Amino acid sequence: MDTTATFSAAGDYVLSLSANDGEFTATDRVTVHVAAQATPPPSGSTPNGPAGNWTQTFGDEFNGTSLDTSKWARNWYGEGGTMNGVGTYARNVSVHDGAAYLQLESTTAGALIHTDISGGYRLPVGSYAEARIYFPGPSSTSLSNWAAWWASAAAADGWPSSGEHDIAEILSGQLTVNYHSPSGAHNQGGVSGFQPGNSWHTYGIHRKAGSADVYWDGVKVKSYSTDDSGRPEILILNVGNGSNDAFGQAGAMRVDYVRAWAPA
């Protein structure tokens, strides 16, 4: 018996199926689970955020089988370098199925990639950076580990003189936006009603002179004043030890792409 069913929304559906061979009729009931659909990836030509004319200046689609080390370093300034409560190790970064996977191996070993390499990309004031990310967790609003997507000072520039923009950072299981500068920590908090867990979303930062705007799924969710030096910042993605720890690939932060644009 062949049958086709169309479902308009996520959820569990109970189907009653019957078959008749001319003599006997058999009936059965099956439950079909329809998962929530991922946010479709935007075109690479323009940001999923601020309007205007833009020229793409950086991009990695993670379509290969290994990390492109001409764009990324695979740990925090040396194998085992510490960030977010763990050592960062190249073995916990993998690329497959069109995405980069950053996993928490244990409570002391995590993953990180950044662009502070020779000739690596820096995000200047006026530009926009965006990543499409899948954050796993126990539910759509409660997330795993201490994962983050951020732009910050390179090691040689010192911290926090040129600022740190936490575009999407998991703190105590919740996705938040934060900013650090010479004047201290400026926590912006979460976004009411946003459900990031176990689904793909885009997260972007528009650095401006004296302020910054953060976009989630193309919507401006935070805008705050800045008082850093304005130097270009490196791009960073990492996973550390936090709440609801989920180890290995099942708990990995997945990154579909990272892109950046400058005004055209």
Q: What is the pLDDT of residue 45?
A: 77
Strand-pairing partners, residue 187, are 178
Q: What is the pLDDT of residue 22?
A: 62
Task: Summarize pLDDT for 22-77 with one digit per residue, the tens.
Answer: 665 555 565 443 444 445 566 567 999 999 999 999 999 999 999 999 999 999 99
CB atoms within 10 A of CB 135: 25
Amino acid found at 6: T
- The angle subtended at Cα 62 by Cα 57 and Cα 67, nearest 5°, is 100
Using 70 as the pLDDT threshold, list the residues of the chain that sit under it: 1-44
State the Cα–Cα distance between residues 196 and 262, nearest whole angstrom.
27
State the Cα–Cα distance between residues 105 and 247, nearest whole angstrom.
5
DSSP three-state, residue 90:
helix
Residues 149, 115 contacting (CB under 8 angstroms): no
**What class, spelled out in words, does domain 38-263 have in CATH?**
mainly beta
State the Cα–Cα distance between residues 115 and 121, nearest whole angstrom.
6
Residues 153, 160 contacting (CB under 8 angstroms): yes
Query: For residue 15, which phi and psi values (nearest 5 degrees)?
Result: -110, 140
Q: What is the pLDDT of residue 37?
A: 42
Amino acid found at 239: V
Q: What is the pLDDT of residue 238?
A: 98
Q: What is the pLDDT of residue 10?
A: 41
Sequence spans of domains, the chain: 38-263
Cα separations in angstroms, 217 against 49, 75, 77, 100, 174: 7, 28, 31, 19, 17
State the Cα–Cα distance between residues 83 and 257, nearest whole angstrom.
22
Quick check: pTM over 0.95?
no
Q: What is the pLDDT of residue 148?
A: 98
Q: What is the pLDDT of residue 27?
A: 59
β-strand pairing of 253-263 with 99-102: antiparallel
Cα separations in angstroms, 146 against 95, 138, 159, 259: 20, 14, 20, 22
